[in-house]
Structure 1
Amino acid sequence: MAMFDLPLAELETYAPEVSEPEDFDAFWSATLDEARGHALAPTVEPVDNRLALVDSYDVTFAGAGGAPVRAWLHVPAGATGPLPTVVQYHGYSGGRGLPHSSTIWAQAGYAHLSMDTRGQGWNGGGGSSTADASADAGINHAPGFMTSGILDPATYYYRRVYTDAVRMLELTQDHPLLDARRVVVTGGSQGGGLALAAAGLAPLAGIELAGCAPDVPFLCHFARAVALTDRHPYREIAQYLAGWRDHADAAFRTLSYVDGVNLAKRAVAPALFSVALMDLTCPPSTVYAAYNHYRGADKQINVYPYNDHEGGEAYQVAAQLDWVAERFAG
């Protein structure tokens, strides 16, 4: 493993032109309006998490197409709210897991929503998961989720997942345990890409976020990522196009609707990014493309020169804890 991408000095100014469809905003406005045609209908039921200092709740709400999406809500034991809220999205193959598996934000004194990613979760397991039951999921694709429904933005997998991510933000706006004015979105890898998507789409949903903290984010600058790395999950796209050679134009057109660079251009919340300069999964130039196009002026990026996709790990968590505390103190 070595530094294979652009030198850091070039990365710091790397702001490439990324294909953006003319109807980008109209597409997402219509998508979110369609989702709001289904009542959010959240259920929040207490569960035994085997922990003395954290209370957990099993959450279900209506995501894209009205399909049920699962999440955990963790809060400090005995909390009555409203609490500053951290919304967490998960990496590729991950999900909310078991109720005791990830509670650090509740340990820090906040409400912590941890969303399942539909159809995923096999890496962490858990007692329940969120299926991708959409009819669009049955369209031919390479193994994995990157090319599911890729020939049309209306049927693409990440249209549904991004919609789920925004709908969970809607849940934060009307629940007695959650402070609607103090909500931060975060996540690593795919979760970082979903945090960027949520931040970019939040203004369309009329939601003002207190912060966005994408950690080594995935789903950014697809054209460069697919050409630069052989690592999965980006490799799924190349494998698909190696077989369906005539689908490239349609596939990359669809990807332009979910590209984190285009979402970052619309995100205004304060942001804390991270990037690893030896990251073969999410090449650093793809992260910097999103960071340098990020619309919000209050932004910073932590750089880990000698790390692969694990990034800063506990070092970045410590930085996030400090940064989130500052956002919630304001």
Structure 2
Amino acid sequence: MASFAHDFPFDPAYGRTLDDLLRVPAPPAPEDFAAFWKARHDEARAVATAPVAGPAEEERDGVRLHGVTFTSVGGVRLGGWLALPVDGPAERGFVIGHGYGGRQGAGADVPLPLPRSAAILPCVRGMGSRGLLPGVPEDAAGHVLHGVGSRDTYVIGDCVADLWCAASALQELLPQLAGPGRLGYMGESFGGGLGALALPWDERFGAAQLTVPTFGNHPLRLSLPCAGSGEPVRAHHREHPTVAEVLRYFDAATAATLLELPTLVAAALFDPAVPPPGQFAVHNALPGHRELMVLRAGHFSYEGLAEEGGELAARRTRFFGAWL
């Protein structure tokens, strides 16, 4: 198991070895799990996203970055960035999810994994800097509990729909990317968990990469202290134990049991924000082609982090090159 000097009041490796982590299962699905998500997907696919791309704001790493806005479920207008290749038309497309805290720009999501690619980098509802909404908390501790009293009002379901609508917006802006299996998905942490929930129902995606994905195995997560969004959920659960029934519908590992497209997972042995057992539960549940890169740590700075990040970037390029 991984070990680093730290000052957390708990063990971010949770006493698990790699062999232990590779045996963490997914919780069973509610009987109507698939019906619930298919209905949410149908609703999102019916949205007229009306995307608008603004002028180029930046050019680097082979792409021009434009501001973009689009409509999601509930008539909510969201923003983000659109990356278009500098030279020639886009031949591949990506939807790129972000971590908790949102995104201030394209950041490390550019360069894209493959040349001649386009991407939409949306800010999901409530998240900065282009997804802020009145009444939806921007901070992770408030956001992760927003509407959690019901599966129909929980903000995480709407954030998943925001990703589906972002895919629709990208394909409307670039019709050559329309059709089954034409898009790739990348998401880290919060974006990794949202991706696992979104992808089983959407034929437009051909491959995915999930890095340190959150929301895996909620029953286990509720027993593990952490420094991330899982901790306010644990506190809420102590006062409102019935929330566990709502969380069953938003379990990334449960959803992963139905995720058949090729998926690369980067999961960490040590992570104070997203407990590793939940990350590995997502990987372990995948029934189709899956690849695993074991990271020494997630959400934590350590010697060798840059080198490991470079190795993951190379793995990502090889993976999407083979499947998109």
- Compute the TM-score of the two structures, normalised by the length of structure 1: 0.83
Percent of counterpart pairs with the same letter?
A: 24
Residues 77 and 100 of structure 1, relative CA distance in 2, 3 Å threshold:
farther
Give the match's secondary structure for 2:24: coil
- SS of the residue aligned with 1:185? strand
Q: Bigger CA drift: 36-45 or 282-291?
A: 36-45
Q: 1:289 maps to what in 2?
A: 281
Once residues 298 and 46 of structure 2 are traced to their aligned partners in structure 1, the CA distance between those partners, rounded to angstroms, is 42
Aligned to 1:11: 21
Residue in structure 1 matching 2:33, options 21, 24, 34: 24
Measured after TM superposition, the shift of residue 92 of structure 1 is: 0.6
* 33, 47, 55: which one aligns with 1:38: 47
Answer yes or no: is 1:119 the counterpart of 2:126: yes
Cα distance change, pair 210–153 in 1 and its aligned pair in 2 (3 A): same
8 Å Cα contact 1:49-1:100 kept in structure 2:
no
Aligned to 1:124: none
The residue number in structure 1 matching 2:73 is: 64
Structure 2 residue aligned with 1:104: 111
State how far apart, in whole Å, the 1-side matches of 2:298 and 2:60 are: 33
Question: SS of 2:241's equivalent?
Answer: helix
Specify every segment of 5 or more residues in structure 2 that has no aligned partner in the other structure, as ranges.
5-10
Q: What letter matches 1:182 in structure 2?
A: R
Distance 2:111 2:140 in 1: 35
Matching residue of 1:277 = 269
Pair 174,5 (structure 1): closer, same or farther in 2 beyond 3 Å: farther
Structure 1: how far apart are the matches of 2:61 and 2:284?
43
Q: Is the Cα–Cα contact under 8 Å of residues 141 and 229 in structure 2 kept in the other structure?
A: no
Offset, 1:55: 1.7
User: CA contact under 8 A between 2:113 and 2:320: conserved in structure 1?
Assistant: no
How far did 1:229 drift? 2.2
Deviation at 1:218, TM superposition (A): 0.9
TM superposition shift of 1:277: 0.6
Normalised to the residue count of structure 2, the TM-score between the two structures is 0.84
Residues 76 and 107 (structure 1), Cα distance of their counterparts in 2 relative to 1, 3 Å cut = farther
* 1:111 Cα offset (Å): 0.9
Deviation at 1:37, TM superposition (A): 4.5
Deviations 1:188-235 (A, max 9, x none): 111111221221231xxxx24221100111111122123112312111
Output one character per residue of 1:249-274: Cα deviation in whole Å (capped at 9) or x when no partner: 1x111111111012111211101001
In 2: Cα distance, 1:130 partner to 1:23 partner: 30
- The residue type equivalent to 1:114 in the other structure is L
- Partner AA of 2:110 in structure 1: T
Structure 1 counterpart of 2:320: 324
State the AA in 2 paired with 1:225.
Answer: R
Alpha-carbon deviation of 1:280? 2.3
Equivalent pair of 1:267/1:295 in contact (CA under 8 Å): yes
What letter is aligned with 1:234? G
- After the TM superposition, which residues 193-212 of structure 1 pair with which residues of structure 2 at under 5 Å, given as runs? 193-202=193-202, 207-212=203-208
Give the conservation status (yes or no) of the 8 Å contact 1:210–1:327. Answer: yes
C-alpha contact 1:277 1:307 (8 A) present in aligned 2:
yes
Q: 1:119: how far off?
A: 1.2
User: Where do residues 80-91 of structure 1 align in structure 2 (5 Å cutoff)?
Assistant: 80-81=89-90, 83-91=91-99
CA distance in 2, matches of 1:100, 1:290: 26
Dislocated runs of 4+, deviation >4 Å? 50-53, 99-102
- Which residue identity does 1:35 align to in structure 2? A
Q: Count residues with an aligned counterpart.
A: 305
State whether residues 216 and 253 of structure 2, in contact with CA within 8 Å, keep that contact through their aligned partners in structure 1: yes
Q: Quick one: distance in 2 between partners of 1:38 and 1:88?
A: 20
Root mean square deviation, CA, Å: 2.6
After TM superposition, the structure 1 = structure 2 runs for residues 250-261 of structure 1, keeping only pairs within 5 Å, are 251-261=243-253
Cα displacement (A) at 1:19: 4.3
User: What CA distance in whole angstroms lies between the structure 2 residues aligned with 1:50 and 1:275?
Assistant: 31
User: 1:73 touches 1:112 (CA, 8 Å); kept in 2?
Assistant: yes
Q: Name stretches of at least 5 consecutive residues in structure 1 with no aligned partner.
A: 122-127
C-alpha distance in 1, partners of 2:274/2:290?
Answer: 20
